[in-house]
Amino acid sequence: MKHILLLFLFAGTMIAQTHNGRKIVIKNNGTWEYAEPETPISNGDCTYEKNEKDEFDGFLYQFTDTKPFFSKDLVVDNRRISENYESGFIQMRRVNATLAIYFTMLIKTSKFSEIYGYISKGASMIILFEDGTSVTCNAVASKFGDKKDDYLYQIQGAFLIQSQDDLNILCSKIATKIKLEFSRRYEVFEVDGIALRNLSNCIK
């Protein structure tokens, strides 16, 4: 780790700050971890489904409210396969230093699983921004399941944000599209980049 500014030493534990401003705790056994805030942080107009520090495990849990992310008619080989628009939603989640994009897709077509499959562990979500840069997140958990309202299926996936640099990009740039990997094929969706940027700032 480069450019670390040491702050102070207390009871054999050293507190340091990285070049991008994040505080870390260097323990007397040589290991280190990110220093987490003592209380939940609210950022501007953010609203949360959950925003608390658990009294048992000491972890900070921040789950933003869920926001619409895209809607799209699915067309495969010039053939429209959906009876109506498929809808996608996102929620940003923080559990201590672990950050993730929690993605939900509501599906109306019964042919979806036959053509696309499901989101498998390790599947990628590539996020493309207005300036041509991109961020790749990978699925660490997924669920394909139950009927909801007038939709036939729900697909859910938790996509891990890989680094602080990636989070900084998500917080500052406007996304235009995502390329989402399913078990059988990819699909590209035009997305609400402002929603993604604003939600990312809520867990920064």
Average pLDDT over residues 171-184: 94
- The encoded tokens of residue 133 equal 């840069």
User: Taking all residues of the chain, what is their mean pLDDT, rounded to a whole number?
Assistant: 81
The full set of domain ranges for the chain reads: 5-34, 48-201
Q: What is the pTM of this model?
A: 0.73
Give the tokens for residue 136. Answer: 């790749």
Give Cβ neighbours of residue 195 (< 8 Å, ≥ 6 apart). 67, 68, 69, 90
Task: Give tens-digit pLDDT for 49-105.
Answer: 999 998 888 899 999 999 999 887 766 665 665 555 578 899 999 998 899 999 998
Of 98, 92, 102, 97, nearest in space to 202 by CA: 92
Q: Are 7 and 26 in contact (CB under 8 A)?
A: no
- The confidence score (pLDDT) of residue 3 equals 47
